[in-house]
């Protein structure tokens, strides 16, 4: 395939960005989207030009780094996969592909297509963990019976890779699906219950503080999530939050 790539170029967080058109030729339909960008970058380096900066790590759909807006959709036109798993067979010969970074205030652009997702790390630090004793005798993992349905739901929630597509897809830049997945994965399991009330209140407070918007039930997050995390987790998070507020509100410092 021969393609035109309309790519957002931005030298730094402070500078203004703009779209720049590039041509790539003889791209195999079996190449992944990131391999296609590698081919472009190789040609730019050969010409002595600055390669396009983009995030990637595992290239197998598990790290959540490859955050790209492709033709107006987070992770491109295919459903339920990340950018790194998408292949060029999703595009047509001669097509113009528009490639942008995530567009959300809490995810500022670092360079070109790379954004800073430290905000997600801060939300996790606010409560996305359980406190355990790591010394002494550890309980057997199977000693605590967990209903099958709860284990399955918790596993589904835990499959969130923190990519940020839910935020990028949302007109309000809401992080509710991400936070709900992280709250649910613990709320459903006995190991997560002791700190559940503090966890949900702290994570929601941090989400608000960092400037993420509210959920207005458009379901765009679920539609674009590469792990197909269900919005039912948002309903669970809301129940957890209201229950915690009523029974054990956090003390103001
Ligand atoms: S909920 Fe889905 S879209 Fe949002 S960060 Fe997790 S994996 Fe990505
Ligand atoms: S590079 Fe890790 S999920 Fe795409």
For residue range 42-93, what is the model confidence (pLDDT) as tens digits?
Answer: 999 999 999 999 999 999 999 999 999 999 999 999 999 999 999 999 999 9
Ligand 2 nearest-atom number relative to CA 59: 1
Q: In sequence order, which ranges of the chain are alpha helices (DSSP H)?
A: 33-46, 118-127, 148-158, 165-169, 176-187, 196-209, 220-224, 232-247
Q: What ranges do the domains of the chain cover?
A: 3-111, 117-247
Q: How far is the CA of 180 from the centre of ligand 2 (A)?
A: 21
Q: Which fold has domain 117-247?
A: Fumarate Reductase Iron-sulfur Protein; Chain B, domain 2 (1.10.1060)
Residues framing ligand 2 (Cβ under 6 A) = 56-59, 61-66, 82-84
Q: Which residues of 67-95 are buried (b: 16+ CB within 10 A; e: fewer)?
A: bbbbeebbbbebeebbbbbbbbebbeeee
- State how beta strands 96-100 and 69-70 pair: antiparallel
Instruction: State the DSSP H helix or E strand holding residue 9, giving kind and residue range, or none if neither.
Output: strand 3-9
Q: How far is the CA of 224 from the centre of ligand 1 (A)?
A: 8
Tell me how far apart the 2 most distant CA atoms of the chain are, in Å: 64
Predicted local confidence at residue 253, as pLDDT: 55
Of the candidates 54, 61, 63, 69, which has an alpha carbon nearest to the alpha carbon of residue 170? Answer: 69
Q: How far is the CA of 7 from the centre of ligand 2 (A)?
A: 19
Predicted local confidence at residue 142, as pLDDT: 81
Handedness of CA 54, 60, 63, 69 (dihedral sign): positive
Tabulate helix, strand, coil % of the chain (nearest 5): 40, 15, 50
Q: Whose CA is nearest to atom 6 of ligand 1?
A: 160
- pTM score: 0.94
CATH classification code of 3-111: 3.10.20.30
d(CA 93, CA 119): 38
Ligand 1 nearest-atom number relative to CA 180: 1
Q: pLDDT tens track of the chain, all 253 residues?
A: 999 999 999 999 999 999 999 999 999 999 999 999 999 999 999 999 999 999 999 999 999 999 999 999 999 999 999 999 999 999 999 999 999 999 999 999 999 999 999 999 999 999 999 998 777 777 777 888 999 999 999 999 999 999 999 999 999 999 999 999 999 999 999 999 999 999 999 999 999 999 999 999 999 999 999 999 999 999 999 999 999 999 988 876 5
Instruction: Judge whether 3-111 and 117-247 match in fold.
Output: no
How many residues would you count in the chain? 253
How far CA 229 is from CA of 128, 130, 209, 213, in Å, comes to 17, 21, 24, 19
């Amino acid at each position: 395939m021969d393609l035109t790539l309309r790519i957002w170029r931005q030298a730094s967080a402070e500078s203004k960005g703009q779209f720049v058109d590039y041509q790539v030729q003889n791209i195999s339909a079996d190449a992944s989207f990131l391999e296609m960008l590698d081919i472009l970058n190789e040609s730019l380096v050969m010409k002595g030009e600055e390669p396009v900066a983009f995030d990637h790590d595992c290239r197998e759909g598990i790290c959540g780094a490859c955050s790209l807006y492709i033709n107006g959709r987070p992770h491109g036109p295919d459903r339920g996969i990340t950018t790194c798993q998408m292949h060029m067979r999703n595009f047509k010969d001669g097509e113009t592909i528009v490639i942008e970074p995530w567009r959300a205030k809490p995810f500022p652009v670092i360079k070109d297509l790379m954004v800073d997702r430290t905000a997600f790390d801060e939300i996790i630090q606010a409560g996305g963990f359980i406190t355990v004793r790591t010394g002494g005798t550890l309980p057997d993992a199977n000693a605590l019976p967990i209903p099958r349905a709860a284990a399955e739901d918790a596993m589904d929630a835990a499959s969130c890779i923190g990519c940020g597509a839910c935020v990028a897809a949302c007109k309000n830049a809401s992080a509710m699906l991400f936070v709900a997945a992280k709250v649910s994965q613990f709320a459903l399991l006995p190991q997560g219950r002791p700190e559940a009330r503090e966890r949900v209140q702290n994570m929601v407070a941090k989400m608000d503080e960092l400037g993420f918007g509210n959920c207005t039930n458009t379901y765009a997050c679920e539609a674009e999530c590469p792990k197909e995390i269900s919005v039912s987790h948002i309903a669970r998070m809301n129940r957890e939050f209201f229950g915690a507020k009523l029974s054990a509100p956090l003390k103001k410092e």
